[in-house]
């Protein structure tokens, strides 16, 4: 009997209206098109894909920064999709976000201590000396010194600012962390230390984490399970080792072949280079959304959307051609 | 015992850290001040503004005569050692009148800008934050008022309220509201799309906290610039109303009213027009220089260029 997932997405859809010509037909941009996934306590799910594939929209929909157009968002079994702002408040305490840009996500007019302590005030969890104690503890936890609480955000380096973001997310004791490209704005030399901090804290506190990234090597390092997104849909998901050692979907294979490997003996390995650009999510291709760039596409791909082929260990993918090969 | 004392001290110092402490805010203010004074024009402006403020505050001690004291000298005497700026047709000391006029001018600047800054900022902030129908109604209202010239609105307001300096201040203040509202609105739109606003939103912050703790402090810098520059146009507009006889009334040493009264005699005694006119010009120049200096100090792009 596995415990109830902390987060479960069931057919999540997010459409944005596009301003069109007067009296013209209303157009929609479908950023997320029927994404289903789940994350359990103590587990990190890496959500990967190219920019514009809708992975950040998934994160924002879970936080209700965008209202989902369809589907359910279950937090510990409770659907939060229809909740209003007032109803979201207790949810916002249990689900915390780490934003991508550590320079924009901290209020430039507030001190570091005030930023990290704010969620405590908002949720009425602590004040006065108690609040100071919790904030200093959290500072230490993320590798900052409590005497830095007096400083403004711009007086910190990029890595330290992202540590502040992490501290702000952890201070209220959340169950789920949504990390939206948390290290992509940082220098490579700083990335490793911030990632290791996230991994350590996640283990210590038994958090569920949705780790959104376009960087396959970072995702491999952080995640227990990986979900690959293309044009608003999941094309493959499964345990990390399955995805990285035994990828099934042609898109996953192409992504993995693009990851640089620090091993000259493997210099001759096969590189799958995708042709063309990602199609517009306003007018996606018929059938399988990947068929326009797929090296193995067949006629059937243009007519029907592929269903999910399930392998062992919860590994699954959506591809007509590969499904036939696996079964055969 | 020693331990407990230590931890108490630690807690006390830590407590001062979490709230935006005086030292942190002090550092910022000091940094801004030195950035402003690094600009030569702003230094001159600041000096002139300080002179004006000192003249206003200490007017009774600086001025050798009362502002309305008739027969302080012969009437219409040219500038001399006794009467630096000469005397007017009633023998009143022009220097004393100009110095006392500084009080009224400072009042006009503060009150008129205070009205337009407060009302305008709140309007723009609320419209930009709330969006939807609130935004549409508020901003269209602002647009309607914006489409009339400020002088016309001020004239209409004075016509309704009656001519007095107080009413002129209020009128000038009301007339400038749309400008401040527009600035506040556009900056609010920019700031509410920044990630820190989203971060506060998903932390569960309420309307009050989002507007007054997160947005307001971040939209203030451009508004401070606009307000500083706005003082000069408010002073000019109020002087204009007084010149037309719709603001300060005769015995009052308001510079615009003095100019108006001087029209009858300025061919024989140009000094009764020159000095109040100069005072207005210097005041406007001072606030413009200071405003430009603050703008440059607050604008990171300008800083990079230097």
Q: Residue B61 above 50 pLDDT?
A: yes
Quick check: A104 and B196 CB within 8 A?
yes
pLDDT at position A122 = 93
Task: Give A280's DSSP letter.
Answer: P
Go through chain B and tell me how many residues it has.
306
The gap from C-alpha A315 to its chain's centroid, in whole angstroms, comes to: 18
Q: Which residues of A touch B28 (CB under 8 A)?
A: 152
Q: Is the CB of A122 less than 8 angstroms away from the CB of B203? A: yes
**pLDDT, tens only, A33-44:** 989 999 999 999
Within 8 A of B16 by CB-CB distance, chain A residues are: 150
| Chain A contact probe: residue of B20, B23, B193, B195 with most A CBs at under 10 A | B195
- Looking at residue B22, what is its pLDDT? 52
The pLDDT value recorded for residue B70 is 84
d(CA A29, CA A251): 22
Q: What value does the CA radius of gyration of chain B take, rounded to a whole number of Å?
A: 24
In a domain, B139, yes or no: yes
For residue A92, the chain B residues in CB contact (below 8 A) are 202-204
- Residue B128 Cα, gap to closest chain A Cα (Å): 17
- Residue A269: the pLDDT is 67
**pLDDT tens digit sequence for B248-298:** 888 888 998 898 888 888 888 888 899 999 999 999 999 999 988 888 887
Interchain pair B204, A89: CB under 8 A: yes
Question: In this model, does residue B15 exceed pLDDT 50?
Answer: no
What is the span of the domain harbouring residue B301?
2-19+34-305
Residues in chain A with pLDDT values less than 50:
1
Structural Rg of chain A based on CA atoms = 21
CATH number (domain holding residue B112): 1.10.3720.10
Q: Supply the pLDDT for residue A328.
A: 63
Say if residues B98 and B253 touch (Cβ distance below 8 Å): yes
Residue B25 lies in a domain: no
Q: How confident is the model at residue B24 (pLDDT cuts 50, 70, 90)?
A: low
Strand runs labelled E in chain B: none
In the predicted model, is pLDDT for residue B179 greater than 70? yes
The number of helices, as runs of H, and strands, as runs of E, in chain B is 14, 0
Among candidates B134, B71, B111, which has minimal Cα distance to B227? B111
- Tell me, yes or no, whether B26 lies in a domain: no
Question: Residue B292: inside a domain, yes or no?
Answer: yes
Predicted confidence band at B23 (pLDDT cuts at 50, 70, 90)?
low
Q: What is the DSSP letter of A97?
A: E
Do residue A111 and residue B202 have CB atoms under 8 angstroms apart?
no
Cα A297 from Cα A290, distance rounded (Å): 9
Number of domains in chain B: 1
**Sequence ranges of the domains in chain A:** 7-223, 243-262+269-328
What is residue A212's predicted lDDT score, i.e. its pLDDT?
95
Contact B24 A111 (CB under 8 A): yes
d(CA B101, CA B84): 16
Which whole number is the average pLDDT over B118-123?
96
B184-193 mean pLDDT: 94
Tell me if B29 is assigned to some domain.
Answer: no
What superfamily does domain A7-223 belong to in CATH? Answer: P-loop containing nucleotide triphosphate hydrolases (3.40.50.300)
Measured between CB atoms, which of B16, B209, B218 is closest to A122? B209
Q: What is the mean pLDDT of residues B164-192?
A: 92
Shortest CB distance from A114 goes to which of B15, B20, B218? B20
- What is the model's pLDDT at position B3? 47
* pLDDT (tens digit per residue) in B85-115: 888 888 899 999 999 999 999 899 899 999 9
Phi-psi region of A71 (alpha: psi -120 to 50; beta: other; left: phi over 0): left
Please report the pLDDT score of residue A210 as a whole number: 95
Q: What is the ipTM of this complex?
A: 0.87
Strand ranges inside A19-167, DSSP E: 27-39, 44-48, 70-75, 78-79, 95-98
Q: Edge-to-edge strand order for the sheet containing A7-18?
A: A27-39, A7-18, A70-75, A78-79
Distance to chain B for A269, nearest Cα, Å: 41
Give the pLDDT confidence score for residue B102 in this predicted structure.
92
Question: Is A122–B198 a contact, with Cβ atoms under 8 angstroms apart?
Answer: no
Distance CA A30, CA A21 (A): 19
pLDDT of residue A26: 76
**Does B18 score more than 60 pLDDT?**
no
């Amino acid at each position: 009997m596995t415990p109830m997932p902390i987060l479960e997405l069931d057919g999540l859809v997010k459409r944005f209206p596009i301003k069109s010509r007067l009296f013209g037909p209303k157009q929609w941009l479908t950023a997320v098109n029927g994404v289903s996934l789940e994350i359990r306590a103590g587990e990190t799910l890496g959500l990967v894909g190219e920019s514009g594939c809708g992975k950040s929209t998934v994160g924002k929909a879970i936080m209700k920064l965008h209202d989902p157009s369809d589907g359910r968002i279950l937090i510990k079994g409770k659907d939060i999709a229809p909740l209003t702002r007032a109803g979201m408040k207790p949810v916002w305490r249990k689900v915390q976000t780490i934003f991508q840009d550590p320079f924009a996500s901290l209020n430039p007019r507030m001190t570091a201590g005030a930023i990290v302590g704010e969620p405590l005030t908002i949720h009425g969890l602590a004040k006065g000396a108690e609040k100071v104690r919790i904030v200093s503890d959290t500072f230490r936890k993320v590798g900052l010194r409590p005497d830095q609480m007096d400083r403004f955000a711009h007086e910190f380096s990029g890595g330290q600012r992202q540590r502040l973001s992490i501290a702000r997310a952890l201070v209220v004791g959340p169950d789920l962390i949504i990390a939206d490209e948390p290290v992509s704005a940082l220098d490579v030399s700083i990335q490793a230390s911030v990632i290791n901090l996230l991994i350590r804290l996640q283990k210590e506190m038994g958090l569920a984490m949705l780790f959104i990234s376009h960087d396959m090597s970072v995702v491999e390092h952080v995640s227990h399970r990986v979900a690959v997104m293309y044009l608003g849909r999941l094309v493959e998901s499964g345990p990390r080792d399955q995805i990285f050692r035994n990828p099934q979907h042609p898109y996953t294979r192409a992504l993995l072949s693009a990851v640089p490997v620090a091993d000259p003996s493997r210099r001759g390995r096969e590189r799958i280079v995708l042709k063309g650009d990602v199609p517009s999510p306003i007018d996606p291709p018929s059938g399988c959304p990947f068929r326009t760039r797929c090296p193995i596409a067949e006629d059937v791909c243009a007519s029907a959307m592929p269903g999910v082929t399930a392998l062992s260990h919860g590994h699954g993918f959506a591809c007509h051609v590969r499904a036939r090969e696996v079964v055969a | 015992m020693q331990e407990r004392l230590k931890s108490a001290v630690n807690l006390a110092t830590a407590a001062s850290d979490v709230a935006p402490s005086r030292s942190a805010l002090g550092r910022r203010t000091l940094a801004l001040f030195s950035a402003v004074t690094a600009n030569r024009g702003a230094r001159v402006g600041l000096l002139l503004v300080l002179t004006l403020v000192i003249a206003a505050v200490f007017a009774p001690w600086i001025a050798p005569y009362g502002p309305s004291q008739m027969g302080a000298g012969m009437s219409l005497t040219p500038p001399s050692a006794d009467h630096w700026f000469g005397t007017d047709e009633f023998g009143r000391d022009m220097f004393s009148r100009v110095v006392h006029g500084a009080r009224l001018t400072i009042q006009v600047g503060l009150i008129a800008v205070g009205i337009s800054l407060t009302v305008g900022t709140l309007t723009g902030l609320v419209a930009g934050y709330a969006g939807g129908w609130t935004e549409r109604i508020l901003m269209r209202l602002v647009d309607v008022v914006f489409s009339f010239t400020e002088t016309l609105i001020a004239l209409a307001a004075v016509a309704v309220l009656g001519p007095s300096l107080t009413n002129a201040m209020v009128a000038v203040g009301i007339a400038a509201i749309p400008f401040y509202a527009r600035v506040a609105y556009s900056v609010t739109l920019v700031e509410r799309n920044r990630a820190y606003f989203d971060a506060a939103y998903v932390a569960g912050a309420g309307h009050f906290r989002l507007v007054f703790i997160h947005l307001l402090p971040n939209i203030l810098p451009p508004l401070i610039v606009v307000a500083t520059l706005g003082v000069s146009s408010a002073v000019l507009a109020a002087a204009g109303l007084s010149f037309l006889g719709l603001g300060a009334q005769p015995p009052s040493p308001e510079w615009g009213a003095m100019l108006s009264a001087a029209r009858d005699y300025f061919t024989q005694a140009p000094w009764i027009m020159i000095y109040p006119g100069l005072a207005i010009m210097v005041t406007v120049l001072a606030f413009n220089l200071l405003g430009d200096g603050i703008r440059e100090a607050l604008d990171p792009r300008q800083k990079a260029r230097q």
